[in-house]
């Protein structure tokens, strides 16, 4: 692990499912309300039958970054866990105003600090119509956005604008993922 971190200095933490020195154990990332069987029954019914955590919630289309695009079945348990865990780590509560400036049909916007965890925590979600850096910065100012998730290229463009244009009030922003 130390060799890996030295070779790739931008990597600060390594998460491991086993017990390996210098790593963060995966078990320590479990949401405090989850245990053992995770979410067995999430309380929603379909045709009178309870929907279970292992049931498919929806199917995402991968971007094909590792080969041919694939269909990815995502379960209720998957989204409950990811959304709650990310919201917990990011300290999301009812005061959160999340700006969705990336495609909301992707997992990153939905549950990796995103829409579902924000709404479940009682916060608000603002949907950015056009993911343009000027519009993103305007939305942060106008809606007093507290957090947003951006891909690196879009974040770099926003930072470039802020380098030469100090008119945007982004003081409400507490978190950028």
Q: Using CA atoms, how far apart are residues 166 and 177, in angstroms rounded to an integer? A: 22
Task: Provide mean pLDDT across the span 140-162.
Answer: 93
User: Is the pLDDT score of 129 beyond 60?
Assistant: yes
Residue 78 is inside which H or E element, if any? Answer: helix 76-89
For residues 156 and 48, which has the higher predicted lDDT (pLDDT)? Answer: 156
pLDDT grade for 125, boundaries at 50, 70 and 90: very high
Estimate to the nearest angstrom the gap between the alpha carbon of 29 and the chain centroid: 15
What pLDDT sits at residue 130? 86
What is the C-alpha to C-alpha distance for residues 151 and 121, in angstroms, rounded to an integer?
24
Cα dihedral sign, 128-108-86-6? negative
Give the tens place of pLDDT for each residue, 23-80: 766 455 444 444 334 434 444 556 666 667 777 777 777 776 777 877 788 887 888 8
Q: Which pTM was predicted?
A: 0.69
How far apart, in whole angstroms, are the C-alpha atoms of residue 172 and residue 123? 14
């Amino acid at each position: 692990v130390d060799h890996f971190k030295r070779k790739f200095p931008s990597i600060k933490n390594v998460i491991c499912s086993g017990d390996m020195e210098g790593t963060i154990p995966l078990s320590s990332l479990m949401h405090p309300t989850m245990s053992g069987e995770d979410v067995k029954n999430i309380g929603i019914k379909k045709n009178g039958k309870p929907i279970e955590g292992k049931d498919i919630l929806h199917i995402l289309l991968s971007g094909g970054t590792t080969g041919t695009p694939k269909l990815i079945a995502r379960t209720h348990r998957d989204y409950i866990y990811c959304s709650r865990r990310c919201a917990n780590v990011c300290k999301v509560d009812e005061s959160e105003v999340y700006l969705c400036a990336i495609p909301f049909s992707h997992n990153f916007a939905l549950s990796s600090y995103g829409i579902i965890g924000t709404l479940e925590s009682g916060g608000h979600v603002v949907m950015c119509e056009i993911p343009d850096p000027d519009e993103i910065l305007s939305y942060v100012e106008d809606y007093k956005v507290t957090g947003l998730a951006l891909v690196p290229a879009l974040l770099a463009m926003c930072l470039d604008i802020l380098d030469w244009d100090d008119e945007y009030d982004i003081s409400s922003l507490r978190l950028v993922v």
